Structure 1
Amino acid sequence: MRIGELAKISGLAPSRIRFYEASGLIKSVERKANGYRDYAPDTEWVLQIITGAQAAGFSLEEIRQLMPMNANGWQHDELLDGLKQKVGEIEILQQRLAQNKAQLLLVIKGIEAKPEGMACADNAQMLLHRLRDEAGASGRGDAVAAKGKSARQVSKA
């Protein structure tokens, strides 16, 4: 199948397909006498694996290490370990995102509950102190430093 057809079927730009080929993620194909690339039918499946893995957070290098160049080259243990490691990384990211969300919701609540007549800058300082106190109690100092920056940005609004 030619690159245009593969691009249409896969939804990827021909340049992306050429990039994956140059990167060693899909088999290099020989050009015909007319210069056209002719890809094997299973290339569409390989492209789906690559794009799915990228969507799941795998880097191209991780994909290259886990994915064999042919169907007989799958390394069961390495593949399983790599997948489990990525699930662990996703779980850590989910925890961080949940903490960030909780802190943002606290900032929103603090801004919305600004006492009547209090200046925004004073309210922002009050929120910063509250976030620092909570971070000290829970050991999340790094996240609070980032939130402090957010609160300063809010005070300028």
Structure 2
Amino acid sequence: MKIGELAARSGLSQSRIRFYEKIGLLKAVDRRSNGYRVYPKDALVVLEVIATAQGAGFSLDEIRTLMPSDLEKWDHGALMDTLRTKVVEIGRLQERLTRTKARLEGLIEEIEARPDDIDCAANARRVLSRLFDDEDIAAAG
């Protein structure tokens, strides 16, 4: 199939497909004498794998390392190890995001609890100075 049809069927832009080809993720592309690219049917599956993996947080380098040149030859052990590693990384990221969210919510509460006798700028200094004091205490502990 030509790139226009592949783009329409995959939902990706032609430039994105060419990019994946350029960096070696999309292989087995034939060129006709007129310069048109012709993609095999499994190119659609490869693009789906790439999009799914990116959506799951895999980098293009990780995808390149993980994906075999022939989709029929997946290394089951390597695939499972990579997936499990990514699940652990996502768990760590979730923990970090949970801590960050809690800090921001606390900051919002402190800012909203502004005493009536100070303006916003003074309140910001008050809150930020306590925030940095808390960080200094945590770093020292």
Q: Same fold (TM over 0.5)?
A: yes
In structure 2, the partner of 1:87 is: 87
Q: Which amino acid aligns with 1:122?
A: A
- CA separation in 2, counterparts of 1:23 and 1:129? 48
Match in the other structure for 1:145? none
Q: What SS is found at the alignment partner of 1:84?
A: helix
Q: Distance in 1 between matches of 2:103 and 2:123?
A: 16
1:52-73 CA distance string (max 9 Å, x none) = 1112111111000001010232
Tell me the equivalent position of 1:50. 50
1:12 alignment partner AA: L
CA distance in structure 1 between the partners assigned to 2:46 and 2:118 by the alignment: 60
Distance 1:50 1:84 in 2: 18
Contact 1:22 1:28 in 2 (8 A): no
Percent of aligned pairs sharing the same letter? 52
Q: Which runs of 5+ in 1 are unaligned?
A: 142-157
Q: Residue 134 of structure 1: CA displacement?
A: 4.8
Residue 135 of structure 1, CA deviation: 4.5
Preserved CA contact (<8 Å) 1:66 1:82: yes
What amino acid sits opposite 2:66 in the alignment? L
| Displacement after TM superposition at 1:109 (Å) | 1.1
Alpha-carbon deviation of 1:81? Answer: 0.9
Unaligned runs of 5+ in 2: none
Assess if the C-alpha contact under 8 Å between 2:2 and 2:38 holds in 1.
Answer: yes
**What letter matches 2:95 in structure 1?**
Q
Q: How far off its partner does 1:132 sit?
A: 4.2
The answer on whether the counterparts of 2:28 and 2:40 sit within 8 Å (CA) in structure 1 is: no
Cα displacement (A) at 1:106: 1.1
Whether the 8 Å contact between 2:29 and 2:39 is mirrored in structure 1 is: yes
Q: Is the 1:21–1:27 contact (alpha carbons within 8 Å) kept by the matching residues of 2?
A: yes
Q: What RMSD in Å do the two structures reach over aligned CA positions?
A: 1.8
Give the stretch that moved more between structures: 105-114 or 33-42.
33-42
Q: Distance in 2 between matches of 1:8 and 1:72?
A: 25
> For residues 126 and 33 of structure 2, what CA distance do their matches in structure 1 show?
73
Say whether residues 1:75 and 2:78 are aligned partners.
no
Query: What is the aligned length?
Result: 139
Match of 1:38 in 2: 38
Provide the residue aligned with 1:154 in structure 2. Answer: none
Q: 1: CA distance between counterparts of 2:115 and 2:90?
A: 39
